[in-house]
Amino acid sequence: MNVVTPPLLVARNQDALSWFLRDCKEQASRDQHYKVASISLEIKHIDPLAVLDSIYEEDEIHFYMENGVHEEAIAGADAIVSASFEGPGRFKAAKKFTQSILENSIVTGDLEIPFSGPHFFCAFTFYNESSEEDYFAPATVFVPRWQVSRSGGKYGAVANILIDEESDLKVIADRIWKAHHKFSSFNYDTGKKILKVDAASEGTISDVGGEGSYEKAVRIALHKIGAGNYDKIVLARALDIKRSTPVDPLASLNKLRRIYSDCYVFSIANGEKQSFIGASPERLLKIHGQELKTEAIAGSAPRGQTASEDAVLAQALLNCEKDLREHKLVIDSIARRLLEVGIHAQIEPIPALLQLSNVQHLRSLISGEMPKDKHLTDILAVLHPTPAVGGTPRAKAMLEIKKLEVFERGLYAGVVGWLNCHGDGEMVVAIRSALINGSNARLYAGNGIVQGSDPKMEKMETDLKLRAMLETIH
């Protein structure tokens, strides 16, 4: 990656912008390879979701992720370069793709602000291979044409442009100049749509596989756990919603953001009119510099209606032998897999509570130091899927999931997130989620099954988890 400082900041001075673009074109001509020109600018204020909502097109690829607790949000759309991969080598292929793009990237602007420079937005399905039912490739990576972000009190906009020796620099410069003024004082067009999800819309809700199919799968899994086939398996349920009117994914996303601000709210669209949205409590991986952070989340209980009831439920969860045993399986697996790539995990000694608006979990924070020769995708390749969404032993559990679940997971329990030009990034587990496809939506939620699980209670816990998406879509 080449960092360029023009005489004056790009896009705040047209002469400097022209100088920068000419330099990019000269390098593209010299190397006989296109260049990704990336211009980052700090702006006074912008709301990434409001921007995405204002200019949303259902047939355009986009990415959005926000965490209200961390006061961070990022959105991008309209890919200038993208790639998809499948098979066991998909993470390695994604790494190679990002590195090849960065080798031909030229960046400039306000590079000290958060989320500056070109970002790669990523989605990885649960399994390495795709099926006829999947709307997303096993691995999708793209660089957006535009990107906006906020982090604390800092706001930024990034323009990414493909430049080759045939590029018309005047047209590109005019487009960037107009975009700069647009994002500096964005018109959110509040009259474009009413951000309301019509809960009274006519439609049907049905369990994929039929009523009772989930409890049946849990009973089969418990029998195999008792026979020693595996220690834990995560089984998911899916609900199909069929409405008389189209589901607006961004209207649902706005409601998720408001109700579940303590989660990672996300959306990724494939550019073919399907979107995958959700409100996930689980960060799989965050890398900043040489610091790696992940977490183990397993074991759950409902929230109480009063402080006393909530405290009783929390105390029962913290002392539940079944949930603590399930939680330890996740911790041990993560620590063992991190060690495979040379990371010695630092683990909180006692699980704490992660209390969300409708459910509470056991959570243990895990950290470590990134080896200098490792990339974020190298860590993803060994961590995904953790026993929190797959099971243990992993290979046996993943094969069994295919047998016991009556639907394809696709992006459910997969990974969505971003990585930047410095190797930093954040990936979350795509749970508490839904696939939006026109007037249809498929909602997903799962639960970990271990010895001592009760089919009826596991079904009730998935009801609790599905509530997040049901409240926002139907």
Q: Which two tokens stand for residue 428?
A: 């979350």
- pLDDT number for residue 282: 93
Across the chain, what does the average pLDDT equal? 91
d(CA 468, CA 464): 8
- The per-residue pLDDT for 176 is 87
| Backbone torsions φ then ψ of 387, nearest 5 degrees | -65, -10
pLDDT at 195: 42
pLDDT at position 9 is: 67
- Given pLDDT bands bounded at 50, 70 and 90, which one contains residue 474? low
pLDDT over 60 (residue 196):
no
Work out the angle between the directed axes of helices 249-259 and 48-55 (0-180°, nearest 10): 160
463 φψ region: left (φ > 0), alpha (ψ -120 to 50), beta (else): alpha
Identity at 288, one-letter amino acid code? H
The catalytic residue among 25, 35, 95, 232 is 232
Q: Which domains does the chain have, with CATH numbers?
A: 2-184 (no CATH), 203-473 (3.60.120.10)
Average pLDDT of the residues in 397-407: 95
Rounded to an integer, the average pLDDT of 380-406 is 94
Query: What is the reported pLDDT for 178?
Result: 85
Tokens representing residue 384 in the block: 């995904």
- Burial group, residue 129, by CB count within 10 angstroms (0-12, 13-18, 19+): exposed
Structure confidence at residue 200 (pLDDT): 43
- Mean per-residue pLDDT for 342-355? 93
Judge whether 71 counts as a catalytic residue. Answer: no
State percent of the chain over pLDDT 90. Answer: 78
Lowest model confidence (mean pLDDT) among 174-178, 303-307, 340-344, 379-383: 174-178
CA distances to 18, 161, 176 from 171, rounded to whole Å, are: 11, 12, 9
**Is pLDDT at 467 greater than 90 in this prediction?**
no
Torsion-angle region of residue 37: left (phi > 0), alpha (psi -120 to 50) or beta? beta
pLDDT band for position 357 (cuts 50, 70, 90): confident
Burial class (CB in 10 A: 0-12, 13-18, 19+), 182: middle
Where residue 180 falls among pLDDT bands split at 50, 70, 90?
Answer: confident
255-270 residue pLDDT tens: 999 999 889 999 999 9
Catalytic residue among 35, 66, 72, 282: 282
Is 458 catalytic? The answer is no
Say yes or no to pLDDT of 410 above 80. Answer: yes
The structure tokens listed for 101 are 């793009």
Provide the pLDDT for residue 186.
80
Q: Indicate whether 193 pLDDT > 60.
A: no
- 1-55 pLDDT, tens digit per residue, is 888 876 666 667 888 888 899 999 999 999 999 999 999 999 999 999 999 988 8
Q: What pLDDT score was predicted for residue 181? A: 80
The per-residue pLDDT for range 209-223, each reduced to its tens digit, is: 999 999 999 999 999
Residue 360: pLDDT over 80: yes
Rounded distance between C-alpha atoms, residue 141 and residue 463, angstroms: 33
Q: Is pLDDT above 60 for 198?
A: no
Q: Average pLDDT of 377-394?
A: 94
pLDDT at 202: 61
Q: Is the pLDDT of residue 299 over 90?
A: no
> Is residue 76 predicted with pLDDT exceeding 80?
yes
Token pair in block for residue 121: 């937005």
pLDDT tens-digit map of 125-179: 999 998 888 899 999 999 999 999 999 899 999 999 999 999 999 999 998 888 8
Query: Residues 327-334: what's their mean pLDDT?
Result: 92
CA angle 419, 109, 10 (to 5 degrees): 135
What's residue 1's pLDDT?
84
